[in-house]
Chains A and B, each alone.
Chain A
Amino acid sequence: MELTGSQILLESLQKEGVDTVFGYPGGAVINIYDDLYDSSIEHILTRHEQGAVHAADGYARCTGKVGVIIATSGPGATNTVTGIATAYMDSIPMVIITGQVPTPLIGNDAFQEADMCGITRPCTKHNFLVKDVRDLARTIKEAFYIARTGRPGPVLIDLPKDVQVTKCKFKYPETVSLRGYKPTYSGNSRQIDKAAKMLLRARRPVLYVGGGINLSASNAELLKLAEITQSPVTTTLMAMSGFPQDHPLCLGMLGMHGTFYANMSVTDCDLLIAIGARFDDRVTGRIDSFAQKAKVIHIDIDPTTIKKNVAVDLPIVGDLKDVLGKLCDKLSEQAESLQKLVKNTAKWRETIEEWKQAHPMGYESSDTIIKPQFVIEKVRELTDDNAIISTEVGQHQMWTAQFFQFSQPRTFLTSGGLGTMGFGLPAALGAQVAFPDRQVIDISGDGSFQMNSQELATLVQYKLPVKIVILNNNYLGMVRQWQQMFFDRRYSQTVMELPIDFVKLAEAYGATGLQTSKVADVEKIIKQALETPGPVLMEFKISREENVLPMVPAGKGIHEMVLAS
């Protein structure tokens, strides 16, 4: 059967199990949209291509599936770049289809032409320009395979307009063979044996867990490893939902805004097992004082992350599910040694408990002014355990990480690596598309929210009941906090001088808007929002100069925290 390029694209997407795509039409993809008109694939029309990419990203983060985006050539395509870079930094599987000018015009500075393969080369896992329709089906197969295997990531396919209309015989390939791409899934068993030995000898072990834990769906294996060895667990921002935060072994987040006890534990441990984490600078602080007393075991599917930032004593390349599973098996064979380990490490857990008692996570509560942490605690209290929380980037993001107490995998969607303001609203949108019946909440600040607030229209159009919490301090709060602490309170361009009427903004789009500045109303408003059908925006006017603490100043070791203002 002969099909056009755009028909091949849609057929191939269905073969890959894609039922939903996010996108925005335009001249160079008009043929694809014409075929979408009759297709069973659901298309969600966002109001900006960046919104489409973040929505597909949110969809991918909470489901584990590959998010799919269609955008037109030129500006449509370049608008996707921030979203692609966001997904790349956090290893989110995604396939981005961009229209391109017809092949004979490529390189001619044609109308709405942009060299997307050139622009996205450093922020995609791989990208393709398809110049011949006969290569299209195989390319799509490869793109999905690359996106979802190994360390996942975004893959872009640039599809010229003439290729979309040219016909050829369609047969979707069954298998993929890429001689230059063979990710290692199975961990080396000798290395795993050595890891077991090192762990059994440890007196002060810490498991340092990153986003890989959710990507590899090895949460159960991690829980088992932590419990059989009674090892404390600290999670990065990307792994907050990867390990139950209310677990007695959980130390919460480490790094710049980590807990006192997580940072002290890492500083003092004698064995640090990095699990699907990459020693990001926000985690390590000053690198030459990070975990100096520890032997380091690093488990990751991507060999480039190992020894990139810190020296590693025992590298293990492989899928966490495989490696942690085998490690647990190996340890379980040695019941006696395990018992001894638990005994040997009892004092360590006591020390950590003392740190917890000395400096627990907390904030100064108030009856007169809304504290942002209080709002987050209330949202946690009033929502289901499987509610999906997205955030933008800034103070509200850190407070959410510190105070939300996530308990289920893939329930926290946040831009960790790139730190993209404007991520949360469209990500929540994508999550709600994936799970229409679950509670989806975007926790936001007044600054970030305005970066993609146009997606309110998408929420209303598709009847997506996302609830939005705006913690409004009329500041770009995180930058203001730095200016307060390190720039002598010179609040350069961080005051949001124009007060926005967020309630009216929500109403203008046909959503519900609620607002308060009273502590006593917080609970009532959250309840009301959760009971109201459709999207609801809640604006809380919070204590304006609240800071995110603890904080490790830039250039300091993570044990050198500022604990109070």
Chain B
Amino acid sequence: MKHTISVLVENEFGVLARVSGLFSGRGFNIESLSVAPTLEPDLSRITLVTRGDDRILEQINKQLNKLISTIKVIDFTGEEYVERELALIKVSAEAESRAEALRIVDIFRAKVVDVTPKSYTIEITGASAKIDGLIELLRPMGIKEIVRSGPVVMGRGAKGTAG
């Protein structure tokens, strides 16, 4: 099962290597990973997507917590949360497919951020599943390149977590 985990860590030398090394060393899988500083400059937040059964997820959670640099681990599975991912998609757009591409962009409330006579570069933000949906529709036109950020998540409600 897919799990999105948010890890609050010390913003220090080597911390990403500790997290990614933990996953590779113990044979856990990482589907996506994004890292950026938080409101507090000495803290970073890592959001990662992984897969595994309950036993593996329990180990992932515990092993992440065991790292000295880890402050907090939240597995959002089963929680109420907002998920957003950003993707840039460069798609072929010539002759009749130009209009079709724009219609799809419109339906998905995406944006065209770069235009050439032969292509559009489309920016989309949303849950990863929505991005998957857009990609499927654009695929027949010929996708030249995709860059995805990996999802970031935040719990719903008024309460915030530190950092």
Contact = CB atoms under 8 A, between A and B. Distances in A.
Interface of A: 117-118, 121-122, 125-126, 129, 131, 146, 178-181, 302-304, 306-308
A121 B18 contact: yes
A94 to B, nearest CB: 15
Contacts of B52: none
A180 B69 CA distance: 6
B49 to A, nearest CB: 21
Nearest to B54: A307
Nearest to B9: A180
A180 B70 contact: yes
Contact of A122 (B21, B58, B70): B21
Q: Which 6 A-B pairs have the closest CB atoms?
A: A304-B62, A126-B68, A181-B68, A180-B71, A122-B25, A303-B62
Interface string B1-43: 0000000011001100110010001000000000000000000
Main secondary structure of the interface of B (DSSP, over half): helix
Contact of A304 (B9, B18, B59): B59
A117 B14 contact: yes
Contacts of B55: 307
A112 B58 CA distance: 41
Contacts, number: 39
A118 B17 contact: yes
A304 B63 CA distance: 6
Given A121-B21, A308-B59, A129 B68 contact: no
Interface magnitude class on chain B: 20 to 34
Q: Report which residue of A125, A129, A131, A304 has the largest number of chain B beta carbons within 10 angstroms of its beta carbon.
A: A304
Interface in B49-88: 55, 58-59, 62-63, 65-71
Interface of B: 9-10, 13-14, 17-18, 21, 25, 55, 58-59, 62-63, 65-71
Nearest to B59: A308
11 contacts: A129-B13, A179-B71, A180-B9, A180-B68, A180-B69, A302-B66, A303-B62, A303-B65, A304-B59, A304-B63, A307-B59
Given A181-B68, A304-B63, A304-B66, 16 more contacts: A117-B13, A118-B14, A118-B17, A121-B18, A122-B25, A126-B68, A129-B13, A131-B13, A180-B10, A180-B70, A180-B71, A302-B66, A304-B59, A307-B58, A307-B59, A308-B59
B21 A146 contact: no
A178 B62 contact: no
Nearest to B66: A304
Nearest to B55: A307
B64 to A, nearest CB: 10
A126 B14 CA distance: 11
Nearest to A181: B68
A122 B22 CA distance: 7
B130 to A, nearest CB: 34
Contacts of A303: 62, 65-66
A7 to B, nearest CB: 24
Given A121-B21, A304-B62, A307-B58, A146 B68 contact: yes
Contacts of A126: 68
Contacts of A180: 9-10, 67-71
B68 A178 contact: yes
A129 B21 CA distance: 17
A276 B92 CA distance: 61
Nearest to A151: B66
Contacts of B69: 180
Contacts of B70: 180
A136 to B, nearest CB: 15
B59 to A, nearest CB: 6
A121 B62 CA distance: 17
Contacts of B63: 304
B56 to A, nearest CB: 10
A305 to B, nearest CB: 9
Contacts of B13: 117, 129, 131
A213 to B, nearest CB: 21
A167 B69 CA distance: 28
Residue picked from B21, B25, B62, B63, most chain A C-beta under 10 Å: B62
Given A126-B68, A179-B71, A180-B69, A121 B14 contact: yes
Nearest to A308: B59
Contacts of A146: 68
A73 to B, nearest CB: 17
A121 B68 contact: no
Contacts of B25: 122
B141 to A, nearest CB: 44
B44 to A, nearest CB: 12
Contacts of A122: 21, 25
